[in-house]
A and B are shown apart, each in its own frame.
Chain A
């Protein structure tokens, strides 16, 4: 797969379709692969990486990349295409400046799950027909990919690319996932239990802002947490409750725009299951307003910010007549 992407990226660079490539490169370690922009064939050939650790959603980087001169090539996994569409809906990406290549995805590995299996100090990874062949400084390991797959990939919502200019590999279907099961478990808790659960999770927050910075829905010019006048300004937390509010406010802000890409949970150094907050909103939307998937189409309007006279004016028309 990696060779295929590199080949195509070089072709598109050489024929002048694009002048940059947005992809992934190795980070400090093999498993912390980071998004990167490549401007030459050499760079691509030397540094471009695509493997089971390439979980990062590249759509958000198009916010700034698509503002620049010339076209940028981007590789989008199925779930990334939803974020891409949502950003287009919000006028955050200049579509003309993007050449989007959809790529097949079988799910990405979670390095924490590997560590839990005692596999650490990884130097290389290869996926051979669903089996991860991992080299570590201690030797070779082999583990079924499913066993170490990230939660968001186990509960993959869609293998379908909802936006692309060309496709490498096969397009899939929207899946009937079990992503709301965990939300249901939390819903079943009593209010105290639920409060305790979230308090224990959210109090771990160190306010590194990684979730906010990686989130494709967090694209404000100036975040409310950075704005002194907003009343939610970043202040020294007097207690752990302050950090709870950060995540709850953030969940409200991305409600109806969150495509459930799961990047927030992936990047959280404290392993807070932040995606569950967003999924609760998505579940509520589905139940209250009918199925709604942010980013499924460009231009679709989330049900709570959709005011149409023929549908909604009725609500303001007083339904109860006169005195009773």
Chain B
């Protein structure tokens, strides 16, 4: 016979102001199985927990019902508390009389009634609860980091420093990401490549890190501590181990008119290429779209000039499979395509550039060797206009078709625009610079000082207002905008226009989220498990977030988050074993009819079928096909239990019988 104790929490006034807690406690005294019922101000406090523990001993309780906040908040707290008093932690039920009751109404009578019903349902269930024990699984001591930008590199380095093996997957031929393409960084103006390339070298030389460049994640299965990942290694037609990165092939390659992605297509590269001088790994890659040998079967010059014999035209995409304990997503960002902004004439004039293109135009390693020259005629621009929030902070009327831009602030544009303006003025003091802005947002250490410097010391003209139209005319760009402070139209005859295009998550993010069964928001940014308290974890156990894939952030924030994600991964990999979910599905083999429907609905692939010999009532034996659940993989979602037509599949801790008892109690 079960002996149940009911503990009704006031939660200060959170519950007690709306629910008559004494009445709830009193009503529960009459429920079958209940031997003790009481209320207390803060059940989760130490005194409250002691009250529960003492009552367990005093009244010989076999099960406990806590009427309090959501089980999300304190189920674990109370499970631990009753376990200390000698009860199995699964002999606990929480009736949520706060979020589902006192917080949703001000009517005391209604709230109290509902609280009593919820408590009654919890009592009905706990009477049927049985003690459960969790199994354990080993943790694979290896992490996977997806994305080799500054976020991914920092995470990989920190995990590797703690002594764990890390695989760093990067879709491009080299790691480095967007930061390697930047010129200087705000607000200190230190050179981006001077700080990022040593990091790339560190990653390349770290014994615990394996760089899988020019690779993509193809398939993910498994669960926290034991992910099975299939990684596609795209054929680069160059043996990474043999290639010395001498560059002879890139010089001799006859196909030299390939748009150079690293320089945002502002100049050309050869078909066999090393993306940039400091690339890691510094090996050549053949672009299969253009290679004469691969497409037409003639040429083969790179193979002839390669001293190391690294060229292999017969290379094929390869797949490797590896086990990981944790996965970190660091897929970064892209700038939105600005061609749909016809008013800014991006598609009409080469002198209208995006801010990332401008970075390359200023960069000493860029297409112009650091001389700021207009893409159209190679002349130095004298008048430059920046347009802020191109596609950021854009609200739209959904009835008028899809939005062109994004509703959010891209966060970094205000600061890099000030930086670009300052750098331009530094190199070319005779230029005339204009910035059209909605607001200038400069929260951050030394950020506002930096922006003030652009305005006050460098005399950059900041104009509050948006640009209506950019018209290319006689080699000039006629910019027409409004100055909201003066309330008048502004016309500027500019030589160049720079668009601070909104940033968006990498297009690879969504398919990856699907593979990882993790969550995203409407903008395709990965969703963190808790916006404030668990910012680097995804809601899926064992999947962590690093950098821009979670939301817009600058480099210091990215690095901080990358290290935080690494700390979480290290914490996980340090564990000897992980406790499995105790509430898993289990089939009643005598009733299973082998139809395989449960296998089809299991999102985790936890169900398999086996042919098993059974002894029949008439002493014969029969081989039958029955379901089996891998308890380490099962997440207890219950999809199989509702699918099974025979009711052969049931969920521990949430059995059909327990749930029906709850429903019956509610409908009493």
Contacts and interface: CB of A to CB of B under 8 A. Distances in A.
Interface string B254-294: 00000000000000000000000000000000000000000
Contacts of B515: 309
Interface stretch (A6-14, A130-138, A192-200, A310-318): A310-318
A321 B521 CA distance: 4
B2 interface: no
Interface in A297-324: 301-302, 305-307, 309-310, 312-314, 316-322
B522 A320 contact: yes
A219 interface: yes
A305 B513 contact: no
B597 A305 contact: yes
Interface stretch (B80-88, B427-435, B588-596): B588-596
A230 to B, nearest CB: 5
A309 B593 contact: no
A301 B523 contact: no
Contacts of B522: 319-321
B639 interface: yes
A146 to B, nearest CB: 37
Contact of A229 (B517, B521, B657): B657
A313 B517 contact: yes
B93 to A, nearest CB: 19
B596 A221 contact: no
A224 interface: yes
A67 B639 CA distance: 31
A221 B590 contact: yes
A307 B601 contact: yes
Interface string B624-650: 110000000000000100010111100
Given A222-B646, A309-B517, A231 B657 contact: yes
Given A220-B593, A307-B601, A231 B656 contact: yes
Interface string A273-316: 00000000000000000000000000001100111011011101
B591 A227 contact: yes
A310 B643 CA distance: 21
A318 B527 contact: yes
A266 interface: no
B645 A220 contact: yes
B600 A307 contact: yes
B231 interface: no
B interface, over-half SS: loop
Given A91-B596, A223-B646, A317 B513 contact: yes
B590 A222 contact: yes
A224 B647 contact: yes
A188 B402 CA distance: 37
Contact of B600 (A231, A253, A305): A305
Contacts, number: 91
Residue among B513, B522, B593, B624 with max Cβ neighbours from chain A (10 Å): B593
B514 interface: yes
Contacts of A320: 521-522
Given A231-B656, A307-B602, A253 B519 contact: no
A152 interface: no
Contacts of A112: none
Interface residues of B, number: 38
Contacts of B645: 220, 224, 253-254, 257
Contacts of B513: 317
B135 interface: no
Interface string A260-271: 000000000000
B603 interface: yes
Residue among A221, A312, A319, A321 with max Cβ neighbours from chain B (10 Å): A221
Contacts of B624: 221
B660 interface: yes
Contacts of A253: 645
A140 interface: no
Contacts of B591: 220-222, 227
Interface string A50-79: 000000000000000001000000000000
B520 interface: yes
A221 B592 CA distance: 7
Given A91-B596, A221-B591, A318 B656 contact: no
A257 B646 CA distance: 14
A141 interface: no
Interface string B364-385: 0000000000000000000000
Interface string B568-605: 00000000000000000000001111111100111100
Contacts of B590: 221-222
Residue among A67, A92, A312, A321 with max Cβ neighbours from chain B (10 Å): A321
B646 A224 contact: yes
A221 B603 contact: no
A191 to B, nearest CB: 21
B514 A313 contact: yes
Contacts of B603: 307, 309, 312-313, 316
A114 B531 CA distance: 72
A317 B520 CA distance: 6
A277 B363 CA distance: 72
Nearest to A231: B660
B646 A91 contact: no
Nearest to B648: A221
| Those 5 A-B pairs whose CB atoms lie nearest each other, nearest first | A321-B521, A321-B522, A220-B646, A90-B595, A253-B645
24 contacts: A67-B622, A90-B597, A91-B625, A220-B591, A221-B646, A221-B648, A227-B591, A229-B647, A231-B656, A231-B657, A305-B600, A307-B601, A307-B602, A310-B514, A312-B603, A313-B517, A316-B517, A316-B519, A316-B603, A317-B514, A320-B521, A321-B522, A321-B523, A322-B521
Given A307-B602, A316-B519, 7 more contacts: A90-B594, A91-B595, A92-B594, A307-B601, A307-B639, A309-B514, A313-B517
